[in-house]
Amino acid sequence: MATTTLLTWEQFEQLPDDPGKRELMNGELIHLPPANHHHNEASHRILFELLASLREAHSRGEALQLGAARIEKGYRLDHRTWLQPDVSVTHAGQPVGVYMEGSPAIAIEIVSPANTPRALAIKTKLYFEFGALEVWHFYPEEGHAVVHVAGAEPVTVRDYLTTPLFPGLRLDIPQILRG
């Protein structure tokens, strides 16, 4: 289970390295256990598909509002929030200081038992508040993904995930989530 503590940004930056994943969400420290093998494999399958699709789309002069696909990249949204999606796609020309500034264009989470519905809802809201275009939640146990687009109802996808953000992307959900 995740544990929580309230911290300032300065305290968060000074935390020692520990196993697992830590995020700061509105000042609340979110500590998650290390990702398991299947979680990591799904993250890498998504990353590799995004890298290839982005390269192809950019070569056709499409999806130029998108930057690069990244795994476990941290984003500083404001002085109280630093999130680290499992996979992300940056905005083209996204500001970078010590950390990526603002939300990624696409934030992708592989949902595990440690991810509470409350935390996922808050993180999704924050991603959109700070500039995300889409947020994807992959649910390995249920075998589907839920795509959130700003201003629209979430859509559950069980077969192929596509997005108008870049033509040519077609993520095979069962293949991504295979054990």
DSSP code per residue over the chain:
--EEEE--HHHHHTPPP-SSEEEEETTEEEEEPPP-HHHHHHHHHHHHHHHHHHHHHHHTT--TTEEEEEES--EEEETTEEE--SEEEEETT--BSSSEES--SEEEEE--TTS-HHHHHHHHHHHHHTT-SEEEEEETTTTEEEEEETTS--EEESSEE--TTSTT--EEHHHHH--
CATH architecture of the region 36-177: Alpha-Beta Complex (3.90)
pTM of the predicted model as reported, rounded to 2 decimal places: 0.91
For the chain, give every domain's residue range. 36-177
List per-residue pLDDT tens for the chain, 179 residues long: 445 578 877 788 777 777 677 888 888 888 788 888 999 999 999 999 999 999 999 999 999 999 999 999 999 999 899 999 999 999 999 999 888 999 999 999 999 988 889 999 999 999 999 999 999 999 999 999 999 998 999 999 999 999 999 889 999 999 999 86
Q: Given this model, what pLDDT does residue 1 score?
A: 44
The pLDDT assigned to 158 comes to 97
